[in-house]
C-alpha cells in the first residue's frame, strides 16, 4: 500500500509538471481577500475549497476583514477554528464606542481579537508571506504592510471611515484599505504573484430602510463603488464573487451560510483556476499599460 501511494504521488506530480508551461515550474499564486465585515466569513469557504483541491497559495493579501482572515490563515490557524470563532463574533469583540470628531468607535480591540486565533504578533512569525492593505487618507493611496507588528496594520486596514477612528501608524493617517483596493490584487502582484485569485464580496443594495448611521455610510460607499473605476480588477486573473450581497454587515450568526457561499463560488471557479495555472504566466503590466492594450 505504501509503495502504491508513493507511485500515485509521483504520477500526480508528473502530470502537474507536464501541465505547467515553460520549465515545468508552476506559477506563483497570490490570493487577494476583499473586505465586507461579516461577509468576510465567506473567505473561509474559499480557502477550504482551495485546500481540498490542492490549489497552492504562495502569497496572501487582505483588505479590511480580508486582512483579518489572511493574517489568521497565514499564521497557521485551522479553518475549523476560524469558522468556530466567526459564528461567535459580535461588534464588541473588535469595536468600542467612543466620542470623537473622527469616528464613532475605536477598533483597538481588534489586536486582542486576533489573539483569539493565534499568538503571532509579527509578520516575521507567519508561515506564508502576507500583505495587509490600508489607505493613506492624506495622500489618497494604498499602503502595503509586509513587516513589523501585525496588530497596528490590521487595525488600519479595518478602520472603516465614519465608523472607526483613523489609525496613526508609521507617520501616516490610515483608514480602511477598501477605499483604494476593495480587492488587494495589486498587493499580491507586488509580492511576486504571477497568478492572482481575487475574492470580491459584493454588498449590493439591500432593499428596505437603513437601520442606523453605519448602514447609511455603508450603502453610500457601495453606490460610489458601483460607478467607480476599480484598477484592482486589471491585476486579477480569476475573480471569485460569493453570493453574499443579502447579508448585513453585522450578521456573523450567518457563518454557516457565508462559508457555504464561499465554497460554492470557489468550486465554480476551479476550472478557471486550473486553466490559469496551466498557462505560462505573463508579467503584470499595471492598470495603465493594460488599459492601453485594449485599444
- The least confident of 57-61, 226-230, 283-287 is 283-287
Question: How long a stretch of residues is the chain?
Answer: 295
Instruction: Quick: pLDDT tens for 124-174.
Output: 999 999 999 999 999 999 999 999 999 999 999 999 998 999 999 999 999
Residue 110 near residue 92, CB atoms below 8 Å: no
pLDDT at 285 over 60: no
pLDDT bucket at 290, cuts 50 / 70 / 90: very low
Please tell me the predicted confidence (pLDDT) of residue 207. Answer: 62
* Catalytic residue status for 136: no
Stated pTM of the model: 0.84
Please tell me the predicted confidence (pLDDT) of residue 274. Answer: 96
* Catalytic residue status for 218: no
Average pLDDT for the chain = 85
- Among candidate residues 58, 64, 142, 157, the one labeled active-site is 64
- Among candidate residues 58, 131, 136, 176, the one labeled active-site is 176
Q: Hey, what's the cell of 215?
A: 448602514
Q: What is the DSSP string of 180-220?
A: T-SS-HHHHHHHT-SEEEEE-------SS---SHHHHHHHH
Residue 199 near residue 183, CB atoms below 8 Å: yes
pLDDT bucket at 70, cuts 50 / 70 / 90: very high
User: In whole angstroms, what is the distance from residue 233 CA to residue 171 CA?
Assistant: 29
**Around Cβ 256, how many Cβ atoms within 10 Å?**
13
Amino acid at each position: 500500500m505504501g509503495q502504491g501511494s508513493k507511485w500515485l504521488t509521483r504520477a500526480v506530480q508528473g502530470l502537474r509538471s507536464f501541465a505547467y508551461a515553460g520549465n515545468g515550474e508552476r506559477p506563483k499564486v497570490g490570493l487577494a481577500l476583499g473586505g465586507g465585515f461579516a461577509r468576510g466569513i465567506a473567505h473561509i469557504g474559499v480557502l477550504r475549497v482551495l485546500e481540498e483541491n490542492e490549489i497552492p497559495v504562495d502569497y496572501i493579501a487582505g483588505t479590511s476583514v480580508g486582512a483579518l482572515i489572511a493574517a489568521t490563515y497565514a499564521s497557521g490557524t485551522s479553518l475549523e477554528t476560524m469558522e468556530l470563532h466567526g459564528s461567535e463574533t459580535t461588534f464588541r469583540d473588535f469595536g468600542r464606542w467612543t466620542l470623537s470628531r473622527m469616528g464613532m468607535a475605536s477598533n483597538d480591540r481588534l489586536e486582542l481579537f486576533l489573539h483569539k486565533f493565534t499568538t503571532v504578533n509579527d509578520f516575521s512569525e507567519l508561515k506564508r508571506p502576507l500583505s495587509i492593505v490600508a489607505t493613506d487618507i492624506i495622500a489618497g493611496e494604498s499602503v502595503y504592510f509586509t513587516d513589523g507588528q501585525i496588530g497596528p496594520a490590521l487595525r488600519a486596514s479595518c478602520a472603516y471611515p465614519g465608523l472607526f477612528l483613523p489609525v496613526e501608524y508609521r507617520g501616516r493617517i490610515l483608514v480602511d484599505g477598501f477605499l483604494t483596493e476593495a480587492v488587494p490584487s495589486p498587493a499580491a502582484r507586488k509580492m511576486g504573484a504571477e497568478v492572482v485569485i481575487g475574492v470580491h464580496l459584493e454588498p449590493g443594495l439591500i432593499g428596505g430602510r437603513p437601520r442606523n448611521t453605519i448602514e447609511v455610510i455603508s450603502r453610500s460607499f457601495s453606490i460610489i463603488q458601483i460607478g467607480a473605476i476599480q484598477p484592482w480588477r486589471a491585476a486579477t486573473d480569476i475573480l471569485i464573487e460569493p453570493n453574499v450581497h443579502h447579508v448585513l454587515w453585522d450578521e456573523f450568526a450567518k457563518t454557516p451560510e457565508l462559508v457555504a457561499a464561499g465554497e460554492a463560488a470557489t468550486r465554480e471557479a476551479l476550472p478557471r483556476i486550473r486553466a490559469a495555472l496551466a498557462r505560462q504566466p505573463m508579467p503584470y503590466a499595471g492598470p495603465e499599460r493594460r488599459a492601453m492594450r485594449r485599444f
